[in-house]
Chain A
Amino acid sequence: MTKPSAMMDRTDEALADLAAHPPAPPAMSGAFDAVLAELAPVAARRPWRHAAIVGTVALAYAGGLLAVIAMRRDLHELPMGWLVGVGILWLAGFVVPSTLALVPRAGHIAPRWRAAAIVSVVSSALFVVLGLLVHPSGPSSGYLGPENFIRGHGCLELGLATAIAPALLGAIFLRGSLPVRSRWVAAALGAGGGSLGGLVLHLHCRIADGMHVGLVHGGVVVVGALLAALLLPRITDGPLE
């Protein structure tokens, strides 16, 4: 749909005139000459490679943690479908937000902050609700209940300790790539790391009451996302400050 070129709106005419007469930029300042005189090649960002590194390091770190703290005692008493299904969901909760945070669309530099934001919010809510509603137990499972809810804080700390590795590494790889909306991308890294923490807790913690599984295990994703949104932009935005 175009207007006949012979009859232009006054506004279009003014805008076209402004567009056709861009200002003359000033000469590059002397600061650039000094910098460019010592210009050295740098390696470009390789998003898929960085995502693979984050995934490998994070899974090795989580596996190492599990080896140290041991698997849950009631593992063989729980429904295999729930154990595997929820385990895959936790893993997907790590892989999907982390990939969205680290890998931009083809031909772009900045990652998909909007998709990362949506996935962060959805996964945060999903794991809390899932834990509150579905939490099977066996004879060896533990129970804290509302009165001892606060005693479950160790799980939150373990989950966040697991989340640190992928979130921090991802933020380092994203340095300078996020001029806008870096908090949302950081939140996705935190939610992804938190989900990995949730996976470790899923395989380690034998406490099987809904409040603990939902609010503490699921809460690791929420707290991970919030802390990452608050702290990681200090790393990602460094070159842009």
Chain B
Amino acid sequence: MAADAKQLMEQYIDGDANAFRELYALVAPKLLGYLMRMTRQRASADDLLQQTFLKVHRARAAYVRGADPVPWIYSIAHRTFLDDARKHKRAIVRVADDDQLPEVAAGLTGESDDRRDDPRVDPELAREAVAALDSLPEQQREAVVLTKLDGKSVAEAAQIAGTSVGAMKVRAHRGYEALRKLLGGGKHKTAAAPSRVVRDEAS
């Protein structure tokens, strides 16, 4: 993604509006996923996504040629989320003492329309995963989303969230362990294992 994003960003600051549209199409799905997991509300995530790209547009002169714009765009989304959360002081959903997961509103997984035909491994498991993720403390949730779902390295995730690599590693580890506790760590036979998720766990 990085090479394409670099090229598109350079064309965009050179005045090519289509490059911006392509950059949006390239980055927005993952970024929306990140914002959905952070806000836990599809409507808020949509709104923050638009705000993020408006800020990218306003700050485009800060771009340095040859740099990967994706971590910077994620950082802007991170900040936009925090500013919004401070404004609205969102209620934090926490797991009850009995470790029961909260209900997930229908459609909160918000999967892409063009993926609707892709068979999910287990729709029930996906809903449970979303509920489990949403129950994590904000920093752990962000760490898990960035490193396990969005495929960022720990260093990239730390850069996005404005924290140290060590702190991000701890957050990702604790978040992942909490998820395992909530979802259960039992082995399941499966046909395909996306390598990114497994690789990141090892790092």
Chain A residues packing against B (C-beta within 8 Å): 1-3, 5-26, 28-29, 31-32, 35-37, 39-47, 104, 106-110, 113-114, 174-177, 179-181, 239-240
> Which has the most chain A C-beta neighbours within 10 Å: B72, B125, B164?
B72
Q: Contact at B187–A7, with CB atoms within 8 Å?
A: yes
**Shortest Cβ distance from residue A18 to the other chain B in the assembled complex, whole angstroms:** 6
Cβ-defined partner of B61 (8 Å) among A23, A45, A104, A180: A45
The answer on a CB contact under 8 Å between A14 and B186 is no
B125, A25: Cβ atoms closer than 8 Å: no
Does B79 make an interface contact (CB < 8 A)? yes
Instruction: Contact check, A239 vs B59: say whether CB atoms are below 8 A apart.
Output: yes
Indicate if the CB atoms of A109 and B193 lie closer than 8 Å: no
Q: Which of A11, A20, A174 contacts B185 (CB 8 A)?
A: A11
Q: Which residue from chain B places its CB closest to the CB of A23 in the assembled complex?
A: B110
Chain A neighbourhood of B33, CB < 8 A? 18, 22-23
- Residues of B within 8 Å of A179, CB to CB, are 72, 75-76, 78-79, 162
Cross-chain contact B79 with A240 (CB below 8 angstroms)? yes
Chain B contact residues (Cβ within 8 angstroms of A): what range? 35 or more
Q: Pick from A3, A25, A44, A108: contact of B29, CB below 8 A.
A: A25
The complex places the Cα of A181 from the Cα of B125 at a distance, in Å, of 37
Query: A17 vs B122: C-alpha distance in the bound complex, in angstroms?
Result: 8
Known: A10-B187, A11-B185, A32-B53. A22 touches B63 (CB 8 A): no
Q: What is the 8 Å Cβ interface bit string for chain B, positions 163-203, against chain A (1 contact, 0 not)?
A: 01000000000001001100111111111111111110110
28 contacts between A and B (CB under 8 A): A1-B202, A2-B195, A5-B192, A11-B185, A12-B201, A15-B149, A15-B179, A15-B197, A17-B120, A17-B126, A19-B148, A19-B196, A21-B111, A21-B120, A22-B112, A23-B109, A24-B32, A24-B111, A24-B113, A24-B115, A39-B16, A44-B10, A44-B65, A47-B64, A108-B68, A176-B59, A179-B79, A179-B162
A174 to B64, CA, bound (A): 11
Q: Which residue of chain B has the shortest Cβ distance to A184 in the bound complex? A: B162
Which interface residue of A11, A16, A104 has the most chain B CB atoms within 10 A?
Answer: A11
Whether the pair B62, A174 counts as a contact (CB closer than 8 A) is yes
- How far does the alpha carbon of A76 sit from the alpha carbon of B1 in the complex, in Å? 62
Whether B125 pairs with A110 at a CB distance below 8 angstroms is no
Alpha-carbon gap, A114 to B167, bound state (A): 13
State in angstroms the CA–CA spacing of A5 and B190 once bound together.
7
List 4 additional contacts besides A46-B64, A109-B62; criterion CB under 8 Å: A3-B198, A19-B194, A36-B17, A109-B72
Interface string of B24-65 (1 = CB under 8 A from A): 110011111100100000100110011001110111111111
User: Which B residues are in CB contact (< 8 Å) with A41?
Assistant: 13-15
Contact partner of A22 (CB less than 8 A), chosen from B30, B50, B161, B198, is B30
